[in-house]
Chain A
Amino acid sequence: MAIRERLSGNEAVAYAIKQINPDVMPAFPITPSTEIPQYVAAYIANGEIDTEFIHVESEHSAMSATIGASAAGARALTATSSCGMALMWEELYVAASDRLPIVLALVNRALSGPININADHSDSMGARDSGWIQIYAESNQEVYDNFLQAYPIAEHEKVHLPVMVCQDGFITSHGVENILLVEDDRVKAFVGEYEPQHYLLHPTQRMAVGPYAVSNYYMETKRAQRQAMLEAKQVILDVAARFEEMTGRRYGFFEAYRMEDAACAIVLIGSAAGTCKAAVDHIRNTTGKKVGLIKIRVFRPFPEEELAQALAGVEAVAVLDRSEMFSGTSGPLGAEVRAAMYQARCKAEVVNYFYGLGGRDITVSDFEAVYDGLETLARTHEVTDMYRYIGLREA
């Protein structure tokens, strides 16, 4: 029987770490992820787990030490947010190209500047090209479940890539929700022991990690790295299927919510999906209009074909970005969803919205207004404003 609890998202991640009992956790505090290493340190101090906690002097060192520990053969992880991850920038790419199965608990927070501590996706979206697998959560339950699935994905022999388990700062990290926890022995059986084939502390094997690669080797190395990301797709689905067998909770690349007959759809990432679902239910129950939602769970690797297939029958789509990329056009999700739909020759009209930057609230009525706009767009096929904002004050 699952354990019924009430936990914040940070507590849920820390509890998952306790259940996994990884070998090494170097970490540096930063709002809103500070509680994760704090709770883990308490578990260690209480003798509940024997993880080696390393007090580092910065996030640059946190990721460097995590890389070192992982290369040595340890199951390693760290946690951070926002500018903390920005300071890890160089090492994020190294972790991925060295093919180390590290897990990073990322609590999404806006990047400076202006300095801000609230949720948006500018930190992880900025790192979308770093070679990490990125998995996002709507709720505390999902971030806990995603964390349990992270090591089996990262450590799979066809993958060997680091995984970022993302949740929205404060909204889920500090919000307390009912949650179903998996029993310790079942978690341990599901995640398994880490038995790397090659590692630096191997008693007989000699190995060098992260050597210089001249232009004669760099491109082939990057192509091989791409292959791992491609292979990760099936592994992510296989691990999710195994997780469903254990818990009954189903996961894929994204959740299609009431999309079976949807004419108008919103595509987004993260906690705002809960609010959007309330809007979908309300619209369908009061007007019968066919609206739906696609909530992206796996952004890296990007499920291009699957997403285009899910949107094939839709007439109008709004892609909602919780971060800017200052292309002067859409945000990152908008650009990639539109590209996926173009390639699949989808007929739907697509518009892009920015929302929730720096923690700006988004409400059920905001989503209802987006669906109203999509209904008009589906009828008129006149895109008057491709790039819009939700909740922006305008003169």
Chain B
Amino acid sequence: MEKIQDRINEQSPWQQITEGNKIFEPATSRAFCTGEWRTAAPVWDREKCRQCLLCTPVCPDSSIPVHEGKREDFDYDHCKGCGICARVCPFDAIRMDDKN
């Protein structure tokens, strides 16, 4: 199926923008990478992580994917670097990196 980002993207001329920016498919925010706003990135230490999953529900951007009861690495396309996950982690398994 043709996706909206195939049809409209940041290179699209004005003639191809949908009338009034109407969007004709659901969940297109997934295709819109907002991670570039981030000034500091959370870094996950797999060794220290106990998979308690306290970090997942507090993430405002649903950027900590969980698969079969275990968290995976961050979705950096949508993580804004707010640092809440690092604050709640009881095991120091998440470090905020503002250097890179």
Contacts and interface: CB of A to CB of B under 8 A. Distances in A.
Interface of A: 97-100, 160, 198, 205-211, 213, 216-217, 219-221, 223-224, 227
Interface string B29-55: 000000000000000000000000000
Given A221-B17, A224-B17, A216 B25 contact: no
A206 B19 contact: no
Q: Is the interface of A mostly helix, strand, loop or mixed?
A: loop
A160 B20 CA distance: 9
Contacts of A219: 14
B24 A209 contact: no
A183 B21 CA distance: 39
Nearest to B34: A214
Interface of B: 10, 12-15, 17, 19-26, 28
A209 B19 CA distance: 10
Nearest to B15: A224
B23 A213 contact: no
B22 A209 contact: yes
A223 B15 CA distance: 8
B19 A223 contact: no
B19 A160 contact: yes
A61 B28 CA distance: 29
A198 B24 contact: yes
A269 B20 CA distance: 30
Nearest to A218: B21
Q: Lowest 6 CB-CB distances: which A-B pairs, in order? A: A99-B20, A220-B14, A223-B14, A208-B23, A216-B10, A98-B20
Contact of B21 (A198, A206, A221, A227): A221
A221 to B, nearest CB: 6
Nearest to B17: A220
Which of B21, B23, B25 lies at the interface centre, i.e. has the most chain A CB atoms within 10 A of its CB? B21
Contacts of A227: 14
B24 A207 contact: yes
14 contacts: A99-B19, A99-B22, A160-B19, A205-B24, A209-B20, A210-B21, A211-B23, A216-B10, A217-B10, A220-B13, A221-B17, A223-B14, A224-B15, A224-B19
